[in-house]
Amino acid sequence: MSDLIDNAKEKIEAISLEVVTMEENDIPAMGKILNLLCDMEKDAEKIGRLDFSDLISGLNIYLEKAVLGEIDNFELFEQGVEHLSSIHRCIRNHEEYKEDISGILNKLGVKRSDSGEETKESQNNQTEIESDTETESFEEDESDAHPDDKKEIKEDIKPPDQDLSTEDREILSDFVMESLESLETVEVSLMDLEQDPGDLDSINAIFRSFHTIKGVSAFLNLDRINMLAHRAENLLDKARSGEISIEATVIDIILESVDSLKKLIVGVQKGLENGISLDMGLDVTPLVNRIDEVQEKADQIGDKPVGEIMIQKGEITPKELEKGLQRQKQEPGKKIGQILVEDKSVESKSVVGALRDQKKTGMRHMDLQVKVDTKKLDNLVDLTGELVIAQSMLRQNPVILAARDQKLMHNLGQLNQITSGLQTTAMAMRMVPIKSTFQKMVRLVRDLAKNSGKQVKLEMSGEDTEIDRNVVDELYEPMVHMIRNSVDHGIGTPEQRKKAGKNKNGAIHLIAYHQAGNIVVEISDDGQGLNKDRIIEKAKANHLIIDESKLSESEIYNLIFQPGFSTAKQVTDVSGRGVGMDVVKKGIEKLRGKVEINSRLGRGSTFIISLPLTLAIIEGMVVRVGKERFIIPALSILESLRPTKKQYSTVEGKGEMILSRGKLIPLIRLDQIFNIKSDSFNPWEALVVVVEYEDRQICLFLDELLGKEEVVIKSLGETLKDTKGIAGGAIMGDGKVGLILDMAGIWDLVMGVEN
C-alpha cells in the first residue's frame, strides 16, 4: 500500500508541475496529464478512498473537455489538483479529509449517488455554462473552503529539513529566487495600478505572479505560502472581473500580502541554508481574514459586470437585466447568467461568451531566456579576462614581434578579433537593466510619503540602461539613503509646498543614461534644496572647517558627505542622524564612481552619480614612473602636459604647484608616495597628468605616458587590498603587474582632509 501511495504522490507532483508550466492550449501537456490521471485511477481503486478516486475521475472528465476545446478556463482544474494533493496528504497521514468536495465534483462533471457510485453527466450547453460560469463561483466558494481559517490557521511546523534530496533543494532554490523576483515585479505593477486602476495589463501581471507562486508552492507542499498566495489570487481575480474596484485599501492589502510572502519565502531560503524547518511559522491569519472580508463584500455585489457586457453586445436589454437582478435577490445562490438563461432572456452561449470576454487576458511576447548560476557567469568572465591577458602576452612576446610570417600575423589578428568579441559578449552577459533597482524605489517612495503625510510622485526614465550586475547590487543602498533624504528633508508637506507657491504633490525624478563610457544616475527633487548657510554653520560646529571663504559651492555641498554630518533640526524615523550620506559616499567610491551635487535653495536638489559600466574592466592611461607602471582611470584624467619652468612654483604651506589654465594645482610626486626612483626630478623635464577628484584637481608627476588601454582588474589579495592609493592591479602584456591608482586614496594620503 505504501508503494501505491508513494507512486500517487509522484504522479500528483508531476501533474502539478505540468499545470504550473503549461501554456495556453498546450495539447501535449494535457496529454501527459491525462496519461498520469489514467494511471492514478488504477492506483486509486486499490487505495480504496472514494473521495480520492472520485476526484481523479472528475479531473479526467474535465481535462477531456479541455482537450476537445469545450473549455478554455483551466482554473477549476488547478483547484481540483490542489484538493487532490491535500487528500493524498491525508491518506498518507491516515486522516480523513474534512472538506466537502461534492461541489467541485459536480463542476468537474461527476455526481456521487447516495450509494457512493459515481455518474458522469452528459455534455450539453447547460453543462458548458455550469463549468464556465461556476469556475468563478467555485473560487468565491474557496473563501469557505477553509471554514476554520478565520478562527485560526493551524499548520504543523515541519521538522528540520535535513533529508531533502539534491533535486528537491534545487527545485526549492529556484522557487525562492523566481518568487522573490516575481514579487518585486508585483510591487511595481501595483504602483502603476494605483495610478491607473483600470489598467488590465497590470492586474493580469500581478494575478499571474500570485498564480505561479500558488501553483508551485502547492507542488512543493509549502502550505502557508500556498494559502496566502491563493487568497491574494482570488482577490485579484475579482478585481480583474470587475467585482472589486481597485482602491487604496485593496492596494494596501495586496502589498501586505507581498511583504508576508517575502518573509515566508525568505524563511524557506534560510531553512535550506541552515537545515531547519522551511516553515517559519509566520501567523498570516489576520491578513487572510482581511482578504476574506474584502471578498465577502464583493460577493454581495453580484454579477453586474457580466450583465453589462451582454448589454453592450446587444444580447439583452437593461430591463431584462434588472428583472434578472431582482430575481437574484430572492435566489442569492444563483448566478445572474443562470437566471437569464432560465428566463430565456438569453442563450447559454451568450453568457459563456460574456464570461470569456470578462476573463480575457493579454498575452505579451517574451524573449526566450536561460537562467544561469551567477557563479558560473562570473567564472566565465574571469576566464575570458585571463584569455585576454594571455592573448596580449602572446602578441607582445619578443619571438612573435620578431617574426615575419604573414600567415602567423593573420592568425594572430583573427585571434585578437575573436578574443575581443568573446570579451564583449561575456561582459554583456553580466549587464542587466538598472530597472530592477529603480523599481524598488517606487515602493520605498510610496511608503515614505504615506508615513510622513506627504504627497510624492516618483518619475523614472532610462530604466532600460544597462549596467554590470554587481554594480546594480551595490548601488541599491546609496540610492535608498538619497531617496529617503529627498522625501524626508527635501520635499515638504502639502501645506508647506502650498505656502512656497508649489504644487502640493512633490516630485522625485530618477534618470539613468550612458555618457562617455560610464553610467550616470541622477536623483533630483523639487523640494527645499540645500541650505549653504546651515551647512557651513554645522561644519564649523563640528570643526570640519574654519573659513568658508576658500571653499567653492561644490565643496560646501560635499561637506554633507562627512561622517555624522546632518543639518536636520530633528531626528525622525526616516533620517536625521547623519549616517546616510556618509554611506552614500563610501558606497559610490567603492564602485570607483563619484557623486556631484547641484542645488538651488527653495527649488530643489540634484545628485549626479557617475559609475563605470563594469567592475571587471577599466579603461585607463598606462603611465611609467621609474621602472614601475601605473594605470590612471580615464574617468579621472583632465589633461596631460609638460610644464615650463614658469608654470612651476612653490607656495608656502601648500608645497609644489603647477599653473594650468590660470589655476594653481598641487603637484603630487608618485615616486615619493611609492618610494621608487624616478628618471627626472624637475617637472619641466618630465610629464604631469592633471586628474580630478570631487572637483579638486591635482597634478601627478610621472616619467612617461605609455598609452590608453582597457585592462582586466585583479584583486591584490588580503594583504594588499587596503593599500592607500591603490584600487587594484592588472596584468600587462609582458606578464608584469601594473597598479591601478585610486584618486580618493591618493588625495587622502598626500593632502589629507582639508579643514
Residues 699-734: pLDDT tens digits? 999 999 888 877 777 777 666 766 778 878 888 777
Sequence length of the chain is 755
Q: List Cβ neighbours of 580 (8 Å cut-off, separation of 6 or more).
A: 481, 482, 484, 485
Q: Which of 14-18, 229-233, 319-323, 692-696 has the highest mean pLDDT?
A: 229-233
Residue 572 has phi, psi (to 5 degrees) of -115, 175
Q: Residue 187 — very low, low, confident or very high, per pLDDT cuts 50/70/90? A: confident
Q: List Cβ neighbours of 85 (8 Å cut-off, separation of 6 or more).
A: 12, 16, 218, 219, 221
Pairwise CA distance, residues 68 & 60, whole Å = 13
Mean pLDDT of the chain: 76
Q: Contact, 609 vs 593, CB < 8 A?
A: yes
3-state DSSP assignment of residue 617 = strand
Beta strand 506-515 pairing with 518-525: antiparallel
pLDDT in tens, 600-634: 888 889 999 888 766 667 778 899 998 889 998 88
Question: Quick one: how far is CA 431 from the chain centroid?
Answer: 15
In this predicted structure, what is the pLDDT of residue 312? 65
In this predicted structure, what is the pLDDT of residue 580? 62
In this predicted structure, what is the pLDDT of residue 299? 52
Long-range contacts of the stretch 375-379 (C-beta < 8 A, 24+): 377/429, 377/430, 378/430
Pairwise CA distance, residues 115 & 166, whole Å = 46
Q: Contact, 575 vs 485, CB < 8 A?
A: yes
Compute the average pLDDT of residues 4-21. 78
Pairwise CA distance, residues 39 & 626, whole Å = 80
The CATH code for residues 432-612 is 3.30.565.10
Q: Residue 689 — very low, low, confident or very high, per pLDDT cuts 50/70/90? A: very high
- In angstroms, what CA-CA distances link 162 with 176, 222, 260, 267, 346? 18, 16, 25, 15, 60
pLDDT at 135 over 60: no
Closest CA to 745 of 724, 721, 728, 729: 724
Residue 306 has phi, psi (to 5 degrees) of -65, -40
Q: What is the amino acid identity at position 534?
A: R
pLDDT in tens, 659-675: 988 888 889 898 888 88
Q: What is the amino acid identity at position 50?
A: L
Place of cell 444563483: 334
Q: Contact, 161 vs 275, CB < 8 A?
A: yes
Least confident segment among 68-72, 547-551, 622-626, 636-640: 68-72
Pairwise CA distance, residues 15 & 530, whole Å = 61
Strand partners, 629: 624
| Helix then strand then coil, % of the chain, to nearest 5 | 55, 15, 30
Q: Contact, 706 vs 624, CB < 8 A?
A: yes
Using only the alpha carbons of the chain, give its radius of gyration. Answer: 34
Q: Contact, 576 vs 566, CB < 8 A?
A: yes
Q: How many CB atoms lie within 10 A of CB 368?
A: 4
In this predicted structure, what is the pLDDT of residue 358? 52
Read off the DSSP letter of residue 655: E
| Most distant CA pair in the chain, distance | 112
Read off the DSSP letter of residue 626: T
Return the CATH class of domain 1-145: mainly alpha
Closest CA to 580 of 564, 559, 558: 564
pLDDT at 360 over 60: no
CATH for 374-429, options being 3.40.50, 1.10.260, 3.30.1380, 1.10.287: 1.10.287
pLDDT in tens, 118-127: 444 433 443 3
Q: List Cβ neighbours of 34 (8 Å cut-off, separation of 6 or more).
A: 60, 63, 64, 67
Pairwise CA distance, residues 27 & 25, whole Å = 6
Question: Higher confidence at residue 638 or residue 329?
Answer: 638
The CATH code for residues 617-750 is 2.30.30.40
In this predicted structure, what is the pLDDT of residue 297? 61
600 half-sphere exposure, CB direction, 13 A CA radius: 4
Place of cell 501554456: 23
Q: Contact, 69 vs 131, CB < 8 A?
A: no
**What is the DSSP track for 319-364?**
HHHHHHHHHHHHSTTS-HHHHHHHTTSS-HHHHHHHHHHHH--PPP
pLDDT at 301 over 50: no
Closest CA to 616 of 370, 386, 373: 386
- Where is 599: in which H helix or E strand? strand 594-600
In this predicted structure, what is the pLDDT of residue 20? 67
* CA dihedral angle for residue 713, residue 714, residue 718, residue 723, rounded to 10 degrees: -50
What cell does 682 get?
A: 624637475
Q: Residue 412 — very low, low, confident or very high, per pLDDT cuts 50/70/90? A: confident
Closest CA to 530 of 442, 596, 459, 451: 596
pLDDT at 557 over 80: yes
Read off the DSSP letter of residue 487: I
Q: Contact, 513 vs 520, CB < 8 A?
A: yes
In this predicted structure, what is the pLDDT of residue 585? 82
Pairwise CA distance, residues 552 & 549, whole Å = 8
pLDDT in tens, 198-250: 677 778 778 888 888 887 787 778 888 888 888 888 888 777 766 677 777 77
Closest CA to 440 of 634, 258, 216, 655: 258
Q: Residue 567 — very low, low, confident or very high, per pLDDT cuts 50/70/90? A: low
Q: Contact, 683 vs 598, CB < 8 A?
A: no
Map out the domains of the chain as residue ranges.
Answer: 1-145, 148-301, 304-359, 374-429, 432-612, 617-750
In this predicted structure, what is the pLDDT of residue 701? 92
Q: List Cβ neighbours of 624 (8 Å cut-off, separation of 6 or more).
A: 630, 702, 703, 704, 706
Read off the DSSP letter of residue 699: E
Beta strand 696-702 pairing with 663-669: parallel
Pairwise CA distance, residues 741 & 175, whole Å = 43
Give the rounded percent of residues in the chain with a pLDDT score beyond 90: 3
Q: Residue 295 — very low, low, confident or very high, per pLDDT cuts 50/70/90? A: confident
Q: What is the amino acid identity at position 302?
A: G
The torsion region of residue 199 among left (phi > 0), alpha (psi -120 to 50) and beta comes to beta
Pairwise CA distance, residues 104 & 77, whole Å = 9
pLDDT in tens, 58-68: 888 888 777 76
pLDDT at 132 over 60: no
Question: Quick one: how far is CA 451 from the chain centroid?
Answer: 23
Strand partners, 467: 432
**Are both 1-145 and 148-301 of the same fold?**
yes
Long-range contacts of the stretch 363-366 (C-beta < 8 A, 24+): 363/24, 364/201
Q: Which of 39-43, 364-368, 382-386, 460-464 has the highest mean pLDDT?
A: 460-464
Pairwise CA distance, residues 661 & 71, whole Å = 79
Least confident segment among 85-89, 206-210, 305-309: 305-309
Q: Contact, 636 vs 495, CB < 8 A?
A: no
- In this prediction the pTM is 0.51
3-state SS, one letter per residue, for 84-113: HHHHHHHHHCCCCCCCCCHHHHHHHCEEEC
What cell does 48 get?
A: 480504496
* Helices 75-92 and 200-219, packing angle to 10 deg: 20
Q: Which fold has domain 148-301?
A: Four Helix Bundle (Hemerythrin (Met), subunit A) (1.20.120)
